[in-house]
């Protein structure tokens, strides 16, 4: 008998969105649209592609373990001391470092229900108890989270904006919340979707990091707005003491050389970022208008995706769309069985999705 750990054996693995090639193989469909994993429909920036082509010639060499040039470039971009930044193999790796660095068996982690599934999984890997506080109007209930804190609480995860709801907590709410969290608890604000935010009352987490708040970690990623999900690169911002702690437990070459080169170039491509954000903000409005017309409920989103209530089994809608060559995300794993989550795509992709949803609804009636 292998020495499997019971708390790991009971984990349900994370189920990613269905890959395009898998659907093509299974259904024999040539033209597939994927609006399931909140990827950038524009692809990567041209500048990043050129930098990757160059970097590929040197993949026989180990990458710079310190991400020297990238660190310097991002620190300038954010106007922050490089000592506050840690790069990871996707921001997922930083979530893992938080779990490995701070959790032992019997500890508690608090977050919300209907949030990023990696938080409970990695908490469970470390033998910690994950407490999912109920949402209020599909938003994180920060007061509820405060009430759930005990002496065993080590970590709090707040996805802002949240995946899969697209909702957010405001600057005033965060200010009050942070003033009440005890210092023995590490608070992680996961800002994977921050580049798509246009709400004026969204909190400025960078300022808290710059002011030296000791128990705060802010996560960001190049997987979404920067269109580099396949390279696996994101970063954490925290106090210098916390970053030094993570350096002790990260892998020596956790960020590959092609990713480092691509991000240095992508940070210079401000036009690409602007186009991406414009596409998403316009796409959100398009969906709101069309979904209202179809009589479907949705949650206004600050992200590059929208949660839509289908009034019927969301998994059935997901399967119907698959057969038409459209991949969206069913929400069963998030206890939202009658909802689907759709990533905002290019205009033509959005139009096609609305057309298919209309066809589905007409068939049902």
Q: Closest approach of Cβ 233 to ligand PLP, in Å?
A: 7
Q: Closest approach of Cβ 295 to ligand PLP, in Å?
A: 28
Give the C-alpha separation, 169 to 198, whole Å. Answer: 13
Q: Closest approach of Cβ 37 to ligand PLP, in Å?
A: 7
Judged by beta carbon, residue 228 or residue 357, the one nearer ligand PLP is: 228
Give the strands of the sheet with 85-88, arranged side by side: 85-88, 234-238, 216-221, 186-190, 153-159, 108-112, 129-133
DSSP code, position 226: T
Judged by beta carbon, residue 90 or residue 120, the one nearer ligand PLP is: 90
239 binds ligand PLP (CB under 6 A): no
Q: List CB contacts of 41: < 8 A, sequence separation 6 or more.
A: 279, 343, 344, 345, 346, 349
User: Is there a contact between 156 and 112 (Cβ–Cβ < 8 Å)?
Assistant: no
Q: Closest approach of Cβ 204 to ligand PLP, in Å?
A: 19
163 binds ligand PLP (CB under 6 A): yes
Judged by beta carbon, residue 38 or residue 45, the one nearer ligand PLP is: 38
Which of 181, 229, 336, 356 binds ligand PLP (CB under 6 A)? It is 229
Judged by beta carbon, residue 229 or residue 242, the one nearer ligand PLP is: 229
**For the chain, first and last CA: distance in Å?**
55
Q: Closest approach of Cβ 249 to ligand PLP, in Å?
A: 17
> How does DSSP assign 277-295, residue by residue?
HHHHHHHHHHHHHHHHHHT
User: Interface mask (CB under 6 A) for ligand PLP, residues 70-99, using x and -?
Assistant: --------------------xxx-------
**Distances from the Cα of 341 to the Cαs of 144, 265, 301, in angstroms?**
26, 31, 11
Residue 313 tokens, joined: 């089994």
Judged by beta carbon, residue 255 or residue 354, the one nearer ligand PLP is: 255
Which of 129, 136, 163 lies closest to 7, judged by CA?
Answer: 129
Q: Closest approach of Cβ 121 to ligand PLP, in Å?
A: 12
Provide the strand spans (E) within the chain.
33-34, 85-88, 108-112, 129-133, 153-159, 186-190, 216-221, 234-238, 297-298, 305-309, 326-327, 329-330, 339-343
159 binds ligand PLP (CB under 6 A): yes
Which of 190, 239, 280, 343 binds ligand PLP (CB under 6 A)? It is 190
234 binds ligand PLP (CB under 6 A): yes
223 binds ligand PLP (CB under 6 A): yes
Judged by beta carbon, residue 158 or residue 354, the one nearer ligand PLP is: 158
Judged by beta carbon, residue 114 or residue 261, the one nearer ligand PLP is: 114
Dihedral (CA of 33, 39, 40, 45) sign = negative
User: Is there a contact between 339 and 166 (Cβ–Cβ < 8 Å)?
Assistant: no
- Cβ-closest position to ligand PLP: 90
Q: Closest approach of Cβ 91 to ligand PLP, in Å?
A: 4
Strands 339-343 and 129-133, sheet pairing: unpaired
Judged by beta carbon, residue 108 or residue 190, the one nearer ligand PLP is: 190
User: Is there a contact between 257 and 63 (Cβ–Cβ < 8 Å)?
Assistant: yes
User: Interface mask (CB under 6 A) for ligand PLP, residues 7-36, using x and -?
Assistant: ------------------------------
**Dmax over Cα atoms in the chain, in whole Å?**
61
DSSP code, position 223: S
Judged by beta carbon, residue 108 or residue 191, the one nearer ligand PLP is: 191
Number of residues counted as binding ligand PLP (CB under 6 A): 13
* Prior bond of 245 cis (ω within 30°): no
Q: Closest approach of Cβ 18 to ligand PLP, in Å?
A: 14
Judged by beta carbon, residue 23 or residue 122, the one nearer ligand PLP is: 122
Under the rule (CB under 6 A), what is the footprint of ligand PLP?
Answer: 38, 90-92, 116, 159, 163, 190, 192, 221, 223, 229, 234
């Amino acid at each position: 008998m292998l020495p499997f750990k019971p708390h790991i054996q009971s984990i349900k693995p994370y189920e990613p969105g269905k890959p395009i090639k898998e659907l093509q193989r299974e259904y024999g469909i040539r033209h597939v649209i994927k609006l399931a994993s909140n990827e950038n429909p524009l692809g990567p920036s041209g500048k990043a592609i050129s930098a990757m082509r160059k970097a590929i010639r040197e993949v026989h060499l180990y990458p710079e373990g310190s991400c020297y040039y990238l660190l310097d470039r991002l620190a300038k971009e954010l106007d922050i001391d490089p000592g506050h930044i840690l790069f990871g193999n996707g921001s997922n790796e930083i979530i893992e470092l938080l779990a490995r660095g701070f959790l032992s068996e019997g500890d508690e982690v608090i977050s919300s229900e209907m949030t990023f599934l990696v938080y409970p999984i990695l908490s469970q890997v470390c033998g910690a108890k994950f407490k999912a506080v109920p949402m209020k109007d599909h938003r994180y209930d920060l007061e509820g989270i405060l009430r759930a804190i005990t002496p065993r609480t080590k970590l709090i995860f707040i996805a802002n904006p949240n995946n899969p709801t697209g909702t957010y907590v405001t600057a005033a709410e965060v200010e009050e919340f942070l003033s009440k969290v005890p210092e023995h608890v590490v608070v992680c604000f996961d800002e994977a979707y921050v580049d798509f935010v246009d709400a004026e009352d969204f909190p400025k987490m960078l300022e808290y990091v710059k002011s030296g708040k000791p128990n705060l970690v802010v996560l960001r990623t190049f997987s979404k707005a920067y269109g580099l999900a396949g390279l696996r690169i994101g970063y954490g911002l925290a106090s210098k003491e916390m970053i030094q702690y993570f350096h002790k437990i990260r892998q020596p070459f956790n960020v590959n050389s092609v990713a480092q080169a691509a991000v240095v170039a992508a940070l210079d491509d401000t036009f690409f970022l602007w186009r991406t954000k414009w596409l998403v903000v316009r796409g959100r409005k398009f969906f709101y208008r069309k979904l209202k017309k179809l009589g479907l409920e949705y949650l206004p989103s600050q992200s590059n995706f929208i949660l839509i209530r289908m009034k019927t089994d969301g998994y059935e809608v997901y399967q119907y769309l698959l057969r038409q060559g459209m991949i969206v995300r069913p929400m069963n794993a998030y206890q939202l069985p009658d909802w689907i989550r759709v990533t905002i795509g290019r205009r033509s992709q959005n139009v096609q999705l609305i057309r298919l949803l209309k066809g589905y609804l007409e068939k049902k009636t």
